[in-house]
Amino acid sequence: MSKFVWLLGSVLMLAACGISDKAPIPVDSMKVIVWEMSVADEWFNEVMFKDSVARQQKLNTQLYQKILASHRLSRKDFDAAMRWYEARPKQYLELMDSTVAFAVRAKEIPPSQVKPRK
């Protein structure tokens, strides 16, 4: 029994060593993608509200696909990266802060609308 426990512990330690805590998409790249998707959402909500729901969903999906294609990413890769960030609050907060700062620098969000964290 003790050999089994020792073997199991060794396997778990080796598996844990192989797990990387490195972001699948670096925050500097991810912030641009998140910002572009936010801009696409805003445009979509402002301009396309008159169309049918089915057409809206199709167009919104196409916008996302174009953004991801411009960054050479699949939807699966993007979703996996977002899940990675969401599972790590510190890195997710860094991503969101970087995205807001990027938007402010791009003059998409007036600085007066950015509220500091508490």
In a domain, 4, yes or no: no
Parent domain of 68: 23-113
Q: CA 40, CA 68: separation in Å to the nearest integer?
A: 12
Q: Within 13 A of 15's CA, how many CA atoms are on the CB side?
A: 6
Higher pLDDT, 25 or 111: 25
pTM metric for this prediction: 0.66
Residue carrying the six token digits 């993007």 = 78
Q: Could you report the per-residue pLDDT of 7-58, keeping only the tens digit for each? A: 444 444 434 444 458 889 999 999 999 999 888 888 777 766 666 665 666 6
Question: How many domains are contained in the chain?
Answer: 1
Whether residue 82 lies inside any domain: the answer is: yes
> Which residues make Cβ contacts (< 8 Å) with residue 118, sequence separation at least 6?
none
Task: Specify whether the CB–CB gap between 99 and 34 falls below 8 A.
Answer: yes
Flag whether 35 is in a domain: yes
Is 109 within the bounds of a domain?
yes
